[in-house]
A and B are shown apart, each in its own frame.
Chain A
Amino acid sequence: MNVLEIHQLNKRFREHQVIDGLELTVPEHAVFGFIGQNGAGKTTTMKMVLGLLKPDSGSITICGESVRYGETKSNRHVGYLPDVPEYYGYMNAREYLALCGEITGLPKKRIQERSGELLELVGLGSTKKRISGFSRGMKQRLGIAQALLHEPRLLICDEPTSALDPVGRKEILDVLYAAKGKTTVLLSTHILTDVERICDHVAILHGGKLALNGTLSELKEGHRQDGYALEFRSAEEAARFAECMKSNRFAATVAQEGTAIKVQLQLSGTLGGGQSIIGLLAHQQLTPVRFEALEPTLENLFMEVIQ
């Protein structure tokens, strides 16, 4: 079951085609990382999903219900956390949640229960002061509480951590991770470490469409290259090893930089590549200080995709 489906979505601002035939599906119970550069169209896409912006063409469905601009019916399945949430400063957190709950049509008793639970979860349980006195991190945490209040099936977070300090960021990510079991999370961000920490699905938006899409492990597997990094005690040893690699006619590119060597085997996918290097090391009686198989990182993937 897909919580969110986007088909052939297009949006143009004057000359600039921001979204160009976007196809995106978010499966249930995923933590979906939606990555892109600043201005790639992440916020534009989310606003269209929320019915706040009119798409030029294409269809968006949330839990099987299609989204129409200016109408907000489909939003009852959605919790939305804006990048910098704005509240009514004259209310306190509990009053704000009560307002949100009443608008969504939750019964009074349920609002009280949920408010208590959620404020506890985001660590605002004991705060009595009005929102005008909240710090940015507190506002962001209240943002999560209001977004989760009606137990939405899809939680959309628009760069929730970009304005926060490291502590605030960790708190937000922890809360989002805790929400994972109950709801599907669509997390837009350009902070790749955040994605690696909590997301299981990743999509990279570039040039108005998805340049990359899949589970994090799939993507890494698909982009695995048979590369190794070695480090020797001295530059002479490193040079000797590089020489041997060449003379043994390995199908590989070898790059030396002082005592460090990077080997890129061309027969990718053959796991035996590493073994043959170890064999060569043993044969030459060379002991490296460090021997490491290079794993693709999300950063590498991202850089590769947006070039």
Chain B
Amino acid sequence: MSGYYAFLKKELLESIRTYKLLILIAVFFIFGMLSPLTAKLMPDLLSSFLPEGITLTVAEPTALDAWMQFFKNTSQMGLILTVILFSGILGTELTRGTLINMLTKGLSRHAVILSKLTAMILLWTVSYMTAFVVTWGYTAYLFPNDVPPHLELSVFCLWLFGTFLMTLFLFAATLVKSSYGALILTGAVSALLAMVNIAPLAQKYNPLILALNNTALLTNAIQPSEMYSALTVASICFPLLIAGAAVTFKKRLL
């Protein structure tokens, strides 16, 4: 246990000193600012690009547009950036050999996996929350008294998917040698999930919809109950992926 805390501290120090935390918070802060702003300015922007004489009637933007932008930004660029920033979290230590010394000091391999996962999830949560709080505040300022329905659930769904993705990545990193391999493997699994999503029967169990249906929830196109199966699947996969990562890493030749 003491090994876990010591190594978690090291992971957090690492993300501060190697500017990972700074980059993540900065980018997610920008997402947070940009989402309501784009929603507000979109009609003006559109009309300024149109040739003269043509008028386009665009509906007056609402808070919903701001949140649509928020989910688009965080679920795509946000998640991809987070995973890429963490891509070397295990691979680099293995190729450089920094971990060997820690392990020979009695640090258990489980503690390595758990502390790295904790650090990743913690940083993802902090940056995601930054974007959320900023969007929330700025939206409340630009579009007062306008909160779309099921916002909390929608935000939670994407957070859970992000957590699922981090765990999946760490599991992939214990399976393959290089950091790029782990990225490719994570990408391949995500692509597989996207393909599964075509089948209507499997759709509701697919964790990917946690990052796809966020706006649909806000517009009431989807009811919260339709998300429960996917939420359950992701919640079950989470401990399974951790166990998988711990077991493969324990057997892994260093």
Whether B104 pairs with A75 at a CB distance below 8 angstroms is yes
19 new A-B pairs (CB below 8 Å) besides A82-B97, A103-B6?
A54-B253, A70-B250, A72-B108, A75-B103, A75-B104, A78-B104, A86-B101, A87-B101, A88-B10, A88-B14, A90-B18, A91-B17, A100-B105, A102-B6, A103-B7, A104-B105, A105-B2, A105-B106, A146-B101
Measured CA separation A54–B253 after assembly (Å) = 8
Which residues of chain B have C-beta atoms less than 8 A from A50's C-beta? 104
Given contacts A52-B100, A70-B109, contact A103 B3 (CB under 8 A): yes
Given contacts A53-B253, A103-B6, A105-B2, contact A85 B106 (CB under 8 A): no
Task: Point out residues on B near A: beta carbons under 8 Å.
Answer: 2-3, 5-7, 9-10, 13-14, 17-18, 96-98, 100-109, 250-251, 253-254
CB-based nearest A residue for B2: A105
Does chain B have a CB within 8 A of A76? yes
Which residues of chain B have C-beta atoms less than 8 A from A241's C-beta? none
Which residues of chain B have C-beta atoms less than 8 A from A82's C-beta? 97, 100-101
Does chain B have a CB within 8 A of A232? no
Number of A residues, CB within 8 Å of B: 29
Whether B104 pairs with A72 at a CB distance below 8 angstroms is yes
Looking at B100, B104, B250, the one whose CB has the most chain A CB atoms below 10 A away is: B104
Does chain B have a CB within 8 A of A233? no
Interface of B is mostly: helix
Which residues of chain B have C-beta atoms less than 8 A from A150's C-beta? 105
Which residues of chain A have C-beta atoms less than 8 A from B107's C-beta? 72, 103
Which residues of chain B have C-beta atoms less than 8 A from A293's C-beta? none
Residue in A51, A53, A54, A99 whose CB lies within 8 Å of B6: A99
Does chain B have a CB within 8 A of A80? yes
Measured CA separation A51–B7 after assembly (Å) = 20
Residue in B13, B100, B106, B251 whose CB lies within 8 Å of A70: B251
